[in-house]
Copies of this chain bind each other. A is one copy, B any other.
Amino acid sequence: MTSISIEETEQFLPAFNADGLIPCVAVDDKSGAVLMMAWMNLEALQKTIESGIAHYWSRSRQELWKKGATSGALQSVVSAKIDCDQDTVLLAVTLQKPQQTCHTGRNTCFYRTIVPDSDSTSGLRLEAHNTD
């Protein structure tokens, strides 16, 4: 690392966590809607940039995950950015099959709102809402 700070360098110095992973947020390039959050290792990120198709690391299956490889719900990458301290990736993607963005068959993973609930231990509950 030179004297240029992590915030200003053009060196790619990703801050992977102890498991070698970095969080990645995917947004719809057209609508800007946040679609999902998943994790990448270096290989997934390299393959994403090289191929232009989003690749993640499946923590449950412990393997490289080319999203949509079986379903055809591929994510084509329009841009890949990294944040100031290089510990989060942001992908802007276009979708082949928007309804298969979430494994529940929705066009986003974020379909429930967190609301106050004095009856629950945490003081919070979820409120489901329709998505397109």
Contact = CB atoms under 8 A, between A and B. Distances in A.
Which size bracket describes the interface of A in this complex?
35 or more
Given A46-B123, A128-B10, A84 B104 contact: yes
A96 interface: no
Nearest to A32: B32
Given A37-B83, A80-B114, A84-B104, A12 B122 contact: yes
A55 to B, nearest CB: 13
Most chain B CB within 10 A, of A31, A34, A127, is at A34
A27 interface: yes
A52 to B, nearest CB: 11
Contacts of A114: 12, 45, 49, 80-82, 89
A104 B86 CA distance: 13
A71 interface: no
Nearest to A92: B34
Contact of A110 (B37, B90, B122): B90
A114 to B, nearest CB: 4
A20 interface: no
